[in-house]
Chain A
Amino acid sequence: MADKQATREAYGKALLILGAENSNVVVLDADLSKSTKTADFGKKYPERFFNMGIAESNLLGTAAGLAAAGKIPFASTFAIFAVGRAFEQIRNSIAYPKLNVKIAATHSGITVGEDGGSHQAIEDVAIMRAVPNMVVLVPADGEETRQVILAAAKYHGPVYIRMGRLDVPLLFGEEYSFEIGKANVLREGTDVAIMANGVMVSMALEAAAELAVEGINVSVVNVASVKPLDEETIVRVAETTKAVVTAEEHNIIGGLGSAISEVLAERQPTPIVRVGLKDTFGESGKPNELLEKYGLTKATLIQAVHNVLAKKQR
């Protein structure tokens, strides 16, 4: 087992499992099947794979029709095109009639890298989260992606799945269990909690390990299910730690940090520091250099923990 894998790679493999399990699963792409990793499904099940060309509105609209006729379509393209170009098709043709379409978007966030800001979706979670009937899932590694994809296929209704291009550390084994609507406490701690998803989860774990050396006891919660949000776990952990850092590879407006802030503001007011993109677009560069430049690193998380602890003590 390689120690790193992009979530999109795991997606491509999960589709092959689904293809064998359920003949109603169909896959659509918009001329990016080699990048989104749907191409292997296309090779194995050509009659159930539809390349729609570079036409994202029609990609999502066609998926809606397939779902209306009983299929379980996975529609894939880059996050920026799925949510950006085809927003209103998702809203009116898929979410409004609660059709069983899985929007499996790859190349989210700044870790898209060299293609630059035009191709880096940093607002997709905020947009999808605001749409009624939509489930929003952001897996952290390969195993979680596999489970997210299988869970999405089982769930009846629209699901937005946010995946990445970059190879990220493999964190979980088969014993790990993802459920829609459940957060996973990866590490129990009493001083502060880092609530993260996607690429930020591995950094959160690393930060927690380093902070333990300083004597700071950090809880790490993986919130892959942004919607529905596991309010009970979030409130329970915040009750214990009384300080929370949120971490996401997304604009700090409207994403995971916002979702958690909303819940805690109403149910368990808690000092919070949000780590994410500070309302800025990305740019071209190597993914790891961009993470550094935009403050999405272990070091930023450690600093954020110190900042929130200072607030807590006030």
Chain B
Amino acid sequence: MTTIELKRVANVIRQDIISMLVTAKSGHPGGSLSAADIVATLFFNEMRINPKEPNWADRDRFVLSKGHAAPVLYSALAEKGYFPKGELQGLRQTGHMLQGHPDMKKTPGVDMSTGSLGQGLSAANGMALAGKLDGKDYRVYALLGDGEMAEGQVWEAAMASAHYKLDNVTAILDYNGLQIDGKTDSVMCSAPLVEKWRAFCWHVIEVDGHEIDALLAAFAEAKTVKGKPTMIIAKTVKGKGVSFMEDQAGWHGNAPSVEQGEQALKELREEAATLG
């Protein structure tokens, strides 16, 4: 896909996030919107996947370690055709497939059940170890949040990825700087993250997480790195694309009202118009 096409996909994903959260009346818009460009680039350009065969043994895997951003994943999966788009309106509702946090048993295309923070990179490592054992060339992508950096298990896993030279693992940090209780730096300072990941023997790339070309280049670079895993630290804006949600911790875990949703969709449709 071209850059402009990926931008259009990211815009559609953002619109889906808003409309499904309005219907669900709960969920996490901020960290879903901040990851939309990353997820669009992965699912529509980078990853070797086949929606008709969600359990294809040779597919690339995606682990949404920051599982509360499930809406961004669900939208990407629906747009790819893993399930009908109508399912998005069942988000968080009794008896529907789209759980509040990703559930691999219920949703085709979800490679790992997540939601309890800190656990995704360990699972990604396990998949990567299995791939190496089986002589398969699939890659494993894990998307983490910056608030999640406070979880000790992240660093246990980081050590293990490097120890086992898992160059088939690419982690992406959605570095939006905010978490539920406020600025990540004030809740629990995890900086300096570039230095920390380098010190854990990872190849580290810093990008603007909303620049499609930069993301494409980073994913391409990650594939060339041998003998160590790659961490892409993607600087993002929480709530990106909706003016009143941008950079507001309050939009971490609150769904927009119908009126707020209409305003957000209006802005996103205006953005879409500029993308041709």
Contacts and interface: CB of A to CB of B under 8 A. Distances in A.
A64 B131 CA distance: 14
A103 to B, nearest CB: 14
A269 B60 CA distance: 55
A70 B112 contact: no
Contacts of B143: none
Contacts of A88: 116
A65 B105 contact: no
B100 interface: no
Contact-size category for A: 20 to 34
Contacts of A62: 122-123, 125-126, 129, 157, 160
Interface in A257-285: none
Interface stretch (A45-53, A107-115, A203-211): A45-53
A136 interface: no
B124 interface: yes
A26 B133 contact: yes
A65 B153 contact: no
Contacts of A50: 129, 164
B194 interface: no
Contact of A93 (B123, B128, B130, B133): B123
Contact of A92 (B105, B116, B124, B159): B116
Contacts of B164: 50
A57 B153 contact: yes
Contacts of B182: none
Contact of A89 (B63, B115, B153): B153
A97 B103 contact: yes
B262 interface: no
A310 interface: no
Contact of A68 (B111, B134, B152): B111
Contact of B126 (A48, A55, A64): A64
- Give the most central of A26, A64, A69: most B CB within 10 Å: A69
Given A53-B159, A93-B119, A98 B126 contact: no
A89 B119 contact: yes
Contacts of B121: 61
Interface string B55-74: 00100010100000000000
Nearest to A47: B133
A177 interface: no
Contacts of A52: 156, 160
A61 B116 contact: no
B113 interface: yes
B39 interface: no
Interface string A29-52: 000000000000000000110101
A57 B127 contact: no
Contact-size category for B: 20 to 34
Contacts of A159: none
A58 B156 contact: yes
Contact of B127 (A26, A47, A66, A89): A66
Interface in A49-81: 50, 52-53, 55, 57-58, 60-71, 73
A68 B160 contact: no
A176 interface: no
- Give the most central of A47, A89, A93, A98: most B CB within 10 Å: A93
B126 A63 contact: yes
A155 interface: no
Contacts of B131: 69
Contact of B153 (A58, A69, A70): A58
Contact of B157 (A61, A69, A97, A98): A61
A172 interface: no
B122 A57 contact: yes
Contacts of A57: 118-119, 122, 152-153, 156
Contacts of B118: 57
A194 B43 CA distance: 59
A52 B160 CA distance: 7
Given A89-B122, A93-B119, A69 B127 contact: yes
B126 A66 contact: yes
B220 interface: no
Given A70-B134, A71-B130, 20 more contacts: A53-B159, A57-B118, A58-B156, A61-B119, A62-B123, A62-B125, A63-B126, A65-B123, A65-B125, A65-B129, A66-B130, A67-B126, A68-B104, A68-B123, A71-B126, A73-B126, A89-B153, A93-B113, A93-B116, A93-B122
24 contacts: A26-B129, A52-B156, A55-B159, A61-B157, A62-B160, A64-B123, A66-B126, A68-B111, A68-B123, A68-B126, A69-B127, A69-B131, A70-B57, A70-B134, A71-B126, A71-B130, A88-B116, A89-B119, A92-B113, A96-B103, A97-B103, A97-B104, A97-B112, A97-B113
Interface of A: 26, 47-48, 50, 52-53, 55, 57-58, 60-71, 73, 88-89, 92-93, 96-98
